[in-house]
Amino acid sequence: MKTLGLVLVLVLALGVCGFAQTVNSTMNMQHNVSMLCVKNVPIDPNPEDLFDSSNYAPDYSMFVWNGGGYFEYDPGNPTVFGNILLGTGYVYNLPKGVNSDSDVIFTALPDGVPDASGNKTDMYFSFPKAGNYLIGCPFANNLNIDDGDQNGTNVLWTNGSVTLQWGDACDSGAPGGQWCNPVMQRWNGGGYTNLWNDGSSDSGLMYAGSAYWVTTYQPNLAMIICAKDPNGNPTEVSSVNP
């Protein structure tokens, strides 16, 4: 998903990286098909450069969802695909016959997108039309989508005038009708795993490095992944593989 908001996020992050510590970040590709994302903002987001540490390339193997179908990375016309962005979900196919996972290691900012003071900020996703979107977990660690209220407390939705918790945004009583689906889905290597907005499934976690399908039913919405819960506690928890 390429949106103006995510492009601005990348510009902001690279603007502060001059005084921010950098880390080596890892993107794991499963040996068949992966739905994945970067866990950190890459210092060099060019797909070819990002894959330098890997035995494989993004050529005709990496796909981004454009709202109506998949768009592959074509090395002959790379500008159409664009850069690898934090918050965007991707599909990657390792070559047939490869029976082991592979890692891509790249230099990145430590975690999330910092503000001018270096503090991590909430992440915004823009959904201009009703439909399906493939997003990426925007933080370097797994995050709780609920603080115990079983309402998707740490995932907010807004139409620009009203802001709702995820559970309330799925209600038919939301302004204009139901805004979004109560489930996000990630690929587990053999099928889809559901993440319900009440935190009752998949350990209630959005997993770092994983991409998720999100479905909206109204146009002009934004989803906000919170860096802190309503009590001021970080939403992130230790990064444990799903």
163-165 and 155-158 strand pairing: antiparallel
Mean pLDDT across 17-25:
72
pLDDT-derived band of residue 224, with 50, 70 and 90 as boundaries? very high
Is pLDDT larger for residue 120 or for residue 45? 45
Query: Which tokens hold the place of 67?
Result: 């709202």
Please enumerate, as own/partner, the contacts of 101-104 that have beta carbons within 8 Å and a separation of 24 or more. 101/28, 101/29, 101/30, 101/31, 102/28, 102/29, 102/31, 102/54, 102/55, 102/56, 103/26, 103/27, 103/28, 103/29, 103/53, 103/54, 104/26, 104/27, 104/28, 104/29, 104/50, 104/51, 104/53, 104/54
Is the pLDDT at 16 greater than 60? The verdict is no
Is the pLDDT at 59 greater than 70? The verdict is yes
- Mean pLDDT of all residues belonging to the chain: 87
Report yes or no on whether pTM surpasses 0.85: yes
Asked whether the beta carbons of 141 and 115 are under 8 A apart, the reply is no
Residue by residue, DSSP assigns 116-164 as TTS-B--EEEEE-SSEEEEEE--SSS-EES-SSSSS-TTEEEE-SS-EE
Is the pLDDT at 24 greater than 90? The verdict is yes
